[in-house]
Structure formats: structure tokens, C-alpha cells
Structure 1
């Protein structure tokens, strides 16, 4: 009885094992069929439909590098560069063939260029060159990405310097205006003191002196307001603000990276 039981268990396990293997092979076949369908739709420029087909292929075989690469190309054609980059990265990890890797990294570099992420584009093109050093198209894109990266860095440095200079000039202008206001206030105070002295002298000579109660028509003279800007100072401040707002910035003369490297992997 025990021997018969062991035989039955062994046969059952073997049946399950062999039953699972064809299922996996069937999924891989179905994934390849989905990729073929996706390629057909892609060549007809039906990118959204091709995207669905490639995603179906990956759902059946998540490690299918060709499906991930083709999906990245399809998404790239629809302008969703960040999603395309994620699929290129997945495909690059699963691909061992150097020529295929070179194409993947080239397209990844194109996606970074469209996002104006030039430092990442330079690195992607360098990876492409490491896998295929004879690709002139990649070499051109690498040189272009390096130039645009340098221009971007120079522009950032110039903007930072201009912002710092503007802040320093504004601080100096405020300080000058404050000093000038203080000087004007001192002059006005000196004039007031001289006027008061003259009035006291007149009172000492016996001239009639009227207080507020005797002369209700007498009004208090306006006093100088501290930190009040003169018309000339207001004009200077407005000119400084207009100069700052109207400052022109150099625009990068960007050139478009070549995108011809986007191709579909065949799977037949």
C-alpha cells in the first residue's frame, strides 16, 4: 500500500510539473504575438494601439526586453519622454546584446534632450558609445548635448551673478537714499532752529507776541516727514526698477537632436 501511494504522489507531482511548463511557453508565444501586432500598428503610426499591444506582451512576460524597448519607442513617439526613459532603463537592464544596448541608450539620450536634461543626455549617449563606438549619429548627438549643457551652465552662472549684482546695487541705492534723507532732514531741522532763533530775537525787541489763544487763526506749520523721498530720488528709484525689469537675457540657440535612432525590434 505504501509503495502504491508513493507512486501515485510522484505521478501527480510530475503531471503538475509538466502541465506548468507548457503554460509558461504558451505565455511567451502569446507575448511574441503581441509584439508582432504592436510592430504592425507602430508602422501604421497607430502609436496608442501599439502601446496597448506591447503592454499586453509585458503582462504575459515581464522580462521581455524587446517589448519594453518597443513600448519605450511608442511612448516616445507620443511625447511622454519620462515614461519612455523608464521603459528604456528596464530594457537596458534585461538586454545583453551590445548593439541593442547602444540603440536603447541612444533613444534614452534623445528623450533626455527633449526634456532639456542635458547632463543625463550626455551620460546616455556615452553609454551608447561604449556599446557601439562607430555610431556617428550618436557621436553627433553627444557633441550637441555637451554643447547645450555648457551653454546651460554658463547661462545659470550669468543669471546667478546678475541676481547678486542687482541685489548689491539695490542695497547700495537704499543706503544712499537713506543717507540723503538723513542729510535733508538735518538741513530742515537747522532751518527750523534758525527761524525759531529769529522769532525769539523779535520777541526780545518788544514786538507783539501772540499765543494760540490770542490768535485762533494761527495754524501749525507742517513739519518735515522723516524718510520722505524727494522727486529726484523717486525718479532714480523708478529708473533702477525699470532697468532691472527690462534686462535682456540671451536665448540658447538650441538645435534638435537627431531622432532617427528610434526603431522597432523585430520578433520574427
Structure 2
């Protein structure tokens, strides 16, 4: 009895598997038809209908690699590169043979080249060549991607050097400006100090001039006092007005009076000497002035 039940179960599983296979085969046929319709619409430049048919094909058979690959080509031709890359990636993941994988990665490399992502393009082309080393077009694209990557790196290096030089120039200009500001500040301080010293020198000169003025006033005062004393010693013998003398100089009248007074004094002295002598003639003292 158990053997009979086991046989019935096996027969049921086989029948179910066969049914699933029939459904998959049917879905694959439908997907193929939609893919064919999409190719036709795309050849007629009817992108909208082509896209719709490719999407239907993918929904019927998600494991299909042809429909997403062709849809990726449609997006690529329409310059919708981000959508194209997504479909090429899907085709590469669904591909069951190296030829399909090669085509998918080759086109992924083309998308990266359009986006100027050269390092990613190099990696995609290398993966394509792993699946088909004989494809000369892929090999050429790989060489081109490497050359573009090299130029990009050189340009980046040049830009970096220019930025570094600019930073150095900016720093140099900043240092020069700081030096100029410091020199100007030092110059201003020097001028202020010089102004203070000049003011001190000026005050000193004014003080010296005041001291000299005081000394001159003292000298004039002393000179006036001497003149007054000399005038007091000279007797005035007549009532005639005397000529006003210049500083430190006697008038002619004062000189005359001074001579007469000296002669009178000498006369008195001589008389006293003569009176004391017993003998001797009287001597008249005469001076040639």
C-alpha cells in the first residue's frame, strides 16, 4: 500500500514539474514575441512602443537576458545612459553564457565612457574581455579608456599643482602685506618718536633762549648800574645839556670834566707834597692827553 502511494506521489510531482515547464516555456515564447516586437519598433525609431514591448517581455520572463539587453540599447540610443546601464547590468546578471555576459559588460563600459568615468570603463572592458578575449573592439575600447584615464589623472595633478602654487602665492602675498603693514606701523611709531624728540628739542631750545634772555637782561642791568655809578663820580661843572652817551661810552663833555677833575686832584696832591719838602722847586704836572 505504501509503495502504491509513493508511486502516485512521484507521478504527481512529475506532472506538476511538467506543467511548470510548460508554463515557463509558454512565458518564454511570449517574452520572445514581445522582444521581437520591441526590436521591430526600435528599428522604426519608435522608442515608446519599443520600450513598452521590452518591459512586457521582461515581466513575462524575468530571467531573460535578451530583453533587458535590447532595452538597454534603446535607452543608450536615446542618450538615457543611467537607465541603459541598469538594463545592461541586469542582462549581465541574467546571462547564462559568456557571449551574453561579454556583450553586456562591453556596453556597460560604453556607458561609463559617455559619463567620463574612465576607471569604471576600464574595469568593465576588462570583465568583457575575460568572457571573450578575442573581441578586438573591446580591446580597442579598453586601450582608449586607459589613455583617457591617464590624461584625466595628469590633468588632476596639474590642477592640484596649480592650486598648491596659488595657495603659496596667496600666502606669499599675505606675508608681504603683513610685512608692509608692519613696516608702516614701525614707520608711524618712528615718526611719533621723532616728533616727540623734536618737541623736546624745541622745548629745550626755548628754555635755552629764555636762559640766554635772562642772562642778557642781567648783563644789561649790570651795565646800566655801572653807567649810573660812573655818572655819579663825574662832577657836572656847567648847566649845558649833555649829549646822551651810547652804552659803555662817555660823551665829550664827560671826558672834559673827567680831565679837569683829575688835574685838580693831582694839583692838590702835589701841593701837599711840596708843603712837606724843605727844599725843591714847585713842579707843574702836565699830561699830554
TM-score (norm 2): 0.63
1:95 correspondence with 2:95: yes
Q: Which runs of 5+ in 1 are unaligned?
A: 1-5, 209-268
Deviations 1:176-228 (A, max 9, x none): 210121112111211122112222332341599xxxxxxxxxxxxxxxxxxxx
1:97 Cα deviation after fit: 2.4
| Greater relative contact order, per chain length (Cα 8 Å cut-off, separation 6+) | 1
Provide the rounded CA distance (Å) in 1 between the counterparts of 2:27 and 2:65.
15
Q: Report which of the two structures shows the higher radius of gyration computed on alpha carbons.
A: 2
C-alpha contact 1:47 1:77 (8 A) present in aligned 2: no
Provide the rounded CA distance (Å) in 1 between the counterparts of 2:48 and 2:158.
43
1:134 Cα deviation after fit: 2.2
1:47 correspondence with 2:52: no
Aligned residue in 1 for 2:141: 141
C-alpha contact 1:58 1:64 (8 A) present in aligned 2: yes
Aligned residue in 2 for 1:111: 111
Provide the rounded CA distance (Å) in 2 between the counterparts of 1:15 and 1:178.
92
1:18 Cα deviation after fit: 6.5
Deviations 1:96-132 (A, max 9, x none): 3222322222211111100001111111111222222
Aligned residue in 2 for 1:211: none
Question: Is the deviation greater in 157-166 or in 11-20?
Answer: 11-20
1:146 Cα deviation after fit: 0.6
Provide the rounded CA distance (Å) in 2 between the counterparts of 1:15 and 1:126.
45
Q: Which runs of 5+ in 2 are unaligned?
A: 211-289
Provide the rounded CA distance (Å) in 2 between the counterparts of 1:88 and 1:107.
7
Coordinate RMSD, CA, aligned = 2.8
Map of 1:16-35 to 2, 5 A cutoff? 22-35=22-35
Provide the rounded CA distance (Å) in 1 between the counterparts of 2:15 and 2:125.
50
C-alpha contact 1:75 1:84 (8 A) present in aligned 2: yes
Deviations 1:146-184 (A, max 9, x none): 100000011111111211121122112211210121112
Aligned residue in 2 for 1:253: none
- How many pairs does the alignment contain? 204
Provide the rounded CA distance (Å) in 2 between the counterparts of 1:64 and 1:89.
13
1:80 correspondence with 2:80: yes
1:124 correspondence with 2:124: yes
Distance 1:167 1:101, change over 3 A: same
More helix by share: 2
Aligned residue in 1 for 2:181: 181
